Amino acid sequence: MTVTISDYFLLSPDWDSPVSQKRIWRTSIQTSIKENEKRSALFTWPRRTLSFMVQCMSVSETNYVRRKLYKNLHNVWGIPLWPEWTQLSSQASSGQAVLNVGSTENRNFEVGGKCMILVDEDNYEAGDILSMTSTSITLDTNLNSTWDSGLYVYPILKAQLKAEQTGVSKSIGFDTFSFEFIEVPDTDITHYLFSVTPDTYNTFNVFETEPNWLSSLNIDYKHNYDVLKFLGARYTNTNVAETNMSLTALFSNFSSTELNDLLGFFDISKGRWDQFWLPSFNEDITITSAFVGTDTTFDIEDIKWSAYWNGMDVVGQYLRFQFPDGSIEYRNIIGAPSATEITIDATIDTAVTTEELPFLKVSFLFLVRFDIDEIEINRETETVSDCKLKFTTIYGAAI
């Protein structure tokens, strides 16, 4: 369905408050009595939202918002994706269709969608994108005006507001508005998916982005069971062999490239749909003796496998080795000769001395999926952002 924009809303956000962007997938999950999952992706591309606060600093700005809402609250709006700007790298002259820009990469410019050269709410020109390169945008019609080099160019989101909006008056004519614009699907647009090529291991992608350790990292443990009392004595029954774990953590991004990689991983996973490897980001196994690159058996601290890791036998578990030089390898445990030894399936071709052991981190590698279909990016500035992600281990996953 072709979506027509009724009006543009062009007052910029108040950057003292975070500008929030969401990407929304939808996944249907059917769960068996043993909590095995069948997942189906319901979206072929993610829906987007843009939320921000507007501080009207003059009577004219307040009246701008009021009359726009009065006429078009129920209609489709064109909203600049404020954090996604690029700039004209040369003058864009009247009668030409090509905009030379700094970069279209890591931004939501879409073939079939709209972009806008914007000076202020009264001086702008919008056009439909016919094609793009990494440094140019070709419109489907020629420009009506001439625009100077250095002006900002924004991708445009076709979106709607909720049916009721509230303005808070701080004094006569000076209002504050909080908006959440929700994308209206348009089949004419070639939708932009962030691209990323993650590490892989045993055919699955590996999520290798470290959380922000200045914020808390939460691990939840869950093991469903039934308590049966109708026979008199209390009886506990469970249909699952192991305890499920979920990880919730904050991830901070300090460039558009870092954010692109994070959103790209979320896009290729389609939210909760796909499964992938996730390190625990902890030191789960402590290796106690130096080793050479040809070793496959390692001395470890006893972590009481037989006593406490019921349902999770050491043999068959997967590990992530992070070496003192920053390099990473993934391996499978194939044996446990004793309570303080493990054997992996292949050499790692890296030696670690006794002095380097404190800088070696060995983490469990879990097969997981995202436990969210909706990722929210809070933009502190155009380039600095953070988001909270949640992952859950998968019951009965075959590898």
Residue type, 177: F
Output the pLDDT for position 264.
Answer: 94
Sequence spans of domains, the chain = 7-183, 200-393
User: The tokens of 285 are what?
Assistant: 């196994």
β-sheet bridge partners, residue 177: 54, 167
Q: What is the pLDDT at residue 41?
A: 94
Average pLDDT in the 164-177 region?
84
State residue 308's pLDDT score: 61
Give the integer Cα–Cα distance in Å for 74 and 184. 12
Angstrom distance (rounded) from CA 249 to CA 391: 9
DSSP 8-state assignment for residue 152: E
Cβ(138)–Cβ(98) under 8 Å? yes
* Mean pLDDT, all residues of the chain: 90
Backbone angles phi, psi at 352, to 5 degrees: -130, 125
Q: Which amino acid, one-letter code, is at 116?
A: M
Q: What is the CA radius of gyration of the chain?
A: 26
Q: Confidence class of residue 309 from pLDDT cuts 50, 70 and 90?
A: low
The pLDDT of residue 25 is above 90: yes
Residue 363 · residue 282 · CB < 8 Å? yes
> Taking CA 129 as the corner, what is the angle to CA 124 and CA 133, rounded to the nearest 5 degrees?
110
Closest CA to 250 of 261, 262, 239, 241: 262
Q: Which of 52, 56, 78, 74 is nearest to 65 (CA)?
A: 56
The predicted-structure confidence for 180-224, as pLDDT tens digits, reads as follows 999 998 888 888 888 889 999 999 999 999 999 888 889 888 888
Please, where are the H alpha helices in the chain? 59-72, 256-269, 305-308
Helix (H, G, I), strand (E, B), or coil: what is residue 72? helix
**84 — phi, psi (to 5°)?**
-100, 20
Buried/exposed 47-78: b ≥16 CB within 10 Å, e otherwise: bbbbbbbbbbeeeebbebbeebbeebeeebbb
Comparing 71-75, 238-242, 287-291, the range with the smallest average pLDDT is 238-242
Angle ∠(358,359,364) on CA atoms, nearest 5? 95
With cut-offs at 50, 70 and 90, classify the pLDDT of residue 306. low
What is the predicted pLDDT for the residue at 399?
A: 54
Find the range with the poorest average confidence among 5-14, 141-150, 267-276, 373-382. 373-382
Q: What is the pLDDT of residue 311?
A: 44
The residue with greater pLDDT, 87 or 171, is 87
249 in helix, strand or coil? Answer: strand
pLDDT digits (tens, 9 = 90+) for 218-273: 988 888 887 776 666 777 778 777 788 899 999 998 888 899 999 999 999 999 99
| Residues 105-121 pLDDT 10s | 989 999 999 999 999 99
Neighbours of 9 (CB within 10 A): 20
